[in-house]
Structure 1
Amino acid sequence: MNKTRRLFSLHSWFGLLSGVFLLLLGLSGSFLVFRDEIDHLANHTLLTVQPPSMDGHSGNAPCCPGTRHTPGTRSLAQFYRIITDRYPNLDGIAWLNPNARPEEAYDFRLYLNDVHLFTYDLGLISFNPYTGAILREGKSSDFTPSLIEWIYQFHFSFQLGTPGAALTAIFGLTMLVSLLTGLVVYRKSIWKVLFFRARLNRKNWRTLSSDLHRIVGVWALLLNSVIFFTGFWMNLFAFKPASWHNEITPTKPNTLTGLSLDTLYRKALAQMPDLQPSSVYLPTQPERMFRVSGPVNGQLALFGGSNSVSLDGQTGAVKQVSRLSQKGTWAKIEATFFPLHVGNYGGLPVKILYVLIGLTPGLLSITGFLLWWRRMSKPVRKVTRTAILAKSV
């Protein structure tokens, strides 16, 4: 068996072994590209709030000066107190949308722990920022009134906790191997496809599936390689023994911050005035830091929320001020991994492209299976002794 045939065999088996899972990852990933938009569309009435009039009707103090919020929002400390009272044993809380518009609800990610290895305990709670009313809450595995959270957790862990996150990382690698071996196997077709010289042969399902597999594979090769590699990289935490240990270790009771979260927030923004907050981590355990993350003014969206300010939640001491511009080359490359994986860096055209590319692993899995089935179903030709002798003459 020559090198190309061995690579073709490797390409086929990697595709077959992971085909169904890649189909599910691709479909869920395409759905999640417009995750925020779908969530707001499906829950528009629920998540749209009415800002109070500006005549002093509301007696609440503005939350966190420096953000885009209108006066009358509840303080960050009030939301923190409500959450920690309802959930006394949290690994942490993340404010997901400090850049929310005045008419949008506040969303807080909850890091829960039910001490079961095969559940990855994420939750979400949304508030009316002006009244403090809870609009929705629950674990991602059974979240209502929307399936968005369930699909999100399924996409990176198959709803199987940390082992599931490791499994998705492994399938990311198998897809990468399948793509790279396919690059070698179909190398003679690459330029034909890229210059639109390859045509679909609709003679029968065999020729059609073969041409589709080759053409779609070539066009989706680069972006699929990026998406599956970055997905693998972001799930590397699941291979650390500490991640498995933490999942089965009961979380200690909450230790609340010693200073007001609003004070910590203002101090963090003062350390980096050009920071545009996109996420705020609220510690509930004494070893964790209060952290504000996001881009800075003028930064490309491709680098995401790669700047941050971390403070000691008890004393307010500044622990770290991290600017992307001061980091090394690898750190700058790594900062692009999340935006490259989710496609949130180029507006609507890029998102549409990611949706289409997300469908290709499923299509490649189906056409690849059909090609394999065609080869397996071919009758084995019997070679007679006479034919062998005739061939040797």
Structure 2
Amino acid sequence: MAMLSNKSWFKLHGWCSLPVWLIFCFVCLTGTIAVLSHELTWLTNPAARASNPQDKPALPISQLVAAVQQKFPTADVSGVMTFEPYLVHAITFTDHDKPYAIAYVNQYSGEIQEINEGLTFIGFMRSLHGWLLFPWQQSYSVGYYLVSAMAFVMLGALITGLMVYKKFWRSFTQPKVRLTANKATVLADLHRLAGVWSIWFLMLMSATGFWYLAQAIMWHNEIDIEPHAPIVAINEVPTDSQSPKLSLADAMDIATKRFPQLQPSFIMLPEHQRGMYQISGGGDHIFYDQYAYALSINPWTGIIASEKSPESLTAVQTLMHIADPLHYGTLGGLWTKFLWFFFGVILTGMSITGFMMWATRLKKAMREDAASAFA
């Protein structure tokens, strides 16, 4: 390493990003937007806002499901998704004229504010950033691999950049941007300053990116990180066509008694006679995602067939459940989201200024070559 010249490190720094510059910049941009996708949805879609002027407590989720079933008597409700308190609950269902629909239900008033039969902005941005909307073939997507591989680009650019920028730590105490200098100097100053102040962010994005890549490889090779949800034993299913004994309200009560700290985020209702209530949520662990707690509850007996919590996770499962909060900045609520968004803008800007610096140097080199050719 020490034998490489500064010029060689600079060339390596360029090769870490320039060949895939457009993809890297696009991934940074879409990820930055995805961080605030919930807030942007609230801002742009009034029907997604969970207004609560009378400061009422949230209604039971079972009551919200009942409201959807009352409005659409022939509907088959499949699940419930909950978000931040300022966003409505999303209840997914199918009907004879709706292959797939999402009811936006205000959890404070019980009002159905919108029926969405298409792709949501949140889902679109997460998909665009996560796998570039490439199709999934069995258990893998080429786009997911492309996005995850950006971890190599980011880490390589970070290491080579620090090798090029000698005594980079001075930018913490003596930041320097020579705004009155020429374009190339200003771009270089901004690029270096942003890079130094973003070291922690680059390392964090690289680490989570490497995890997503490892996760993709495990999915592709059908290696289960977590066991599949169980189904009801066939001998426990009644022979007649009676409805399950356990209602959604009962299942929620069982779940909250088992994990009092549970904050449900995704609930799947039984899809068939052998299906179970699948209840997932977060808790009081800020570094874990909204699926760190999960229960499978038998609708015929009320028995918890399987469960998980942060205390019972394996090392690999723990990595899976802490990656998203660290990658998207959800661990501290709005404050960390805006912090991640800010550094996402900086990272996107760095990819652009880096390309502009390269283009400026290329033009200069081409002019010098042309001048020497006619000398």
Same fold (TM over 0.5): yes
Aligned in 2, Cα 1:192/1:75: closer, same or farther, shift over 3 Å? closer
8 Å contact kept, 1:302–1:345: yes
| Partner in structure 1 of residue 97 of structure 2 | none
- Aligned pair 1:303/2:288, yes or no? yes
- Aligned pair 1:29/2:14, yes or no? no
8 Å contact kept, 1:278–1:295: yes
Shift of residue 33 of structure 1? Answer: 2.6
1:155 to 102, 120, 129: 129
Correspondence 1:101-250 to 2 at 5 A = 105-108=88-91, 124-127=102-105, 133=112, 135-140=114-119, 143=120, 147-162=121-136, 163=141, 164-186=143-165, 188-200=166-178, 202-234=180-212, 236-239=214-217, 240-241=219-220
Question: May I ask how many residue pairs the two structures share in their alignment?
Answer: 336
The two structures have a TM-score, normalised by structure 2, of 0.72
| Partner in structure 2 of residue 386 of structure 1 | none
Shift of residue 20 of structure 1? Answer: 1.9
Aligned in 2, Cα 1:182/1:196: closer, same or farther, shift over 3 Å? same
Which 5+ residue runs of structure 1 have no aligned equivalent?
55-67, 112-121, 244-256, 384-393
Distance 1:302 1:44 in 2: 31
Q: What letter matches 2:287 in structure 1?
A: L
1:272 to 250, 259, 274: 259
Q: Deviations for 1:106-131, whole angstroms, at most 9, x for unmatched residues? A: 214689xxxxxxxxxx9744235666
8 Å contact kept, 1:125–1:134: yes
Q: What's the Cα RMSD here?
A: 4.2
Q: Which one scores higher on RCO, CA 8 angstroms, separation ≥ 6?
A: 1
- Aligned pair 1:74/2:63, yes or no? yes
Distance 2:216 2:32 in 1: 23
Shift of residue 357 of structure 1? Answer: 0.7
8 Å contact kept, 1:224–1:357: no
Aligned in 2, Cα 1:75/1:46: closer, same or farther, shift over 3 Å? closer
8 Å contact kept, 1:30–1:358: yes
User: Secondary structure, in 3 states, of the residue corresponding to 1:230?
Assistant: helix
Distance 2:212 2:273 in 1: 26
User: Secondary structure, in 3 states, of the residue corresponding to 1:190?
Assistant: coil
User: Secondary structure, in 3 states, of the residue corresponding to 2:59?
Assistant: coil
Identical columns (%): 23
Shift of residue 326 of structure 1? Answer: 4.3
Aligned in 2, Cα 1:131/1:36: closer, same or farther, shift over 3 Å? same
Aligned in 2, Cα 1:203/1:100: closer, same or farther, shift over 3 Å? closer
8 Å contact kept, 1:192–1:198: no
Aligned in 2, Cα 1:46/1:323: closer, same or farther, shift over 3 Å? closer
| Partner in structure 1 of residue 232 of structure 2 | none
| Partner in structure 2 of residue 263 of structure 1 | 250
8 Å contact kept, 1:165–1:238: yes
User: Secondary structure, in 3 states, of the residue corresponding to 1:266?
Assistant: helix
Q: Which moved more, 1:322-331 or 1:223-232?
A: 322-331
8 Å contact kept, 1:76–1:262: no
Distance 1:84 1:173 in 2: 52
1:337 to 323, 330, 334: 323
Aligned in 2, Cα 1:267/1:236: closer, same or farther, shift over 3 Å? same
Shift of residue 168 of structure 1? Answer: 1.4
The two structures have a TM-score, normalised by structure 1, of 0.69
Which 5+ residue runs of structure 2 have no aligned equivalent?
95-99, 223-242
